[in-house]
Amino acid sequence: MAHSTIVFKHPTFGTIKNTPVGFSWTTALFGFFPALFRGDFKWAAIIFGVTCGVSLVTMGFGAFVCWIVFGLMYNKMYIRELVAKGYVVDRIESRFTLDQLQAQLETVLKPAQAV
């Protein structure tokens, strides 16, 4: 379980996405499946392809390294993709403020406008 979760909402369609912040244990343990279940088909294919390629070259041992590296990177990449698609922050379930999370993610998070 992530120590911080950002809830994103798409302003046009109203789609809600819960996104954990920090290390992705699910990606580290299950490889490309978390991206696949989130509907993030692009990154699922990238994780699968890179892991298979590295595994072929290293006789399978490189897969463990790939799982750790993608575990470190995946949640941050997923959040950046949501922001690029126009999602805005609906709420933050964290002990950190929006500014602290932006610094950790190295991206600008747009809060939802109050109606």
Residue 115 maps to a domain: no
Report the pLDDT value the prediction gives residue 43, as an integer from 0 to 100.
95
Show Cβ contacts of residue 36 under 8 Å, excluding neighbours closer than 6 positions.
44
Residue 77 maps to a domain: yes
**Number of domains forming the structure of the chain:** 1
Residue 112 maps to a domain: no
Q: What does the block give as tokens for 113?
A: 């406008």
Residue 110 maps to a domain: no
Containing domain of residue 49, as a range?
4-105
Report the pLDDT value the prediction gives residue 99, as an integer from 0 to 100.
78
User: What is the residue-level pLDDT of the chain in tens, covering all 115 positions?
Assistant: 457 888 999 999 989 999 998 899 999 999 999 999 999 999 999 999 999 999 999 988 899 999 999 999 999 999 999 999 999 988 888 777 777 777 777 777 777 664 4
Report the pLDDT value the prediction gives residue 114, as an integer from 0 to 100.
47
Of 30, 18, 12, 114, whose CA–CA distance to 68 is shortest?
A: 30
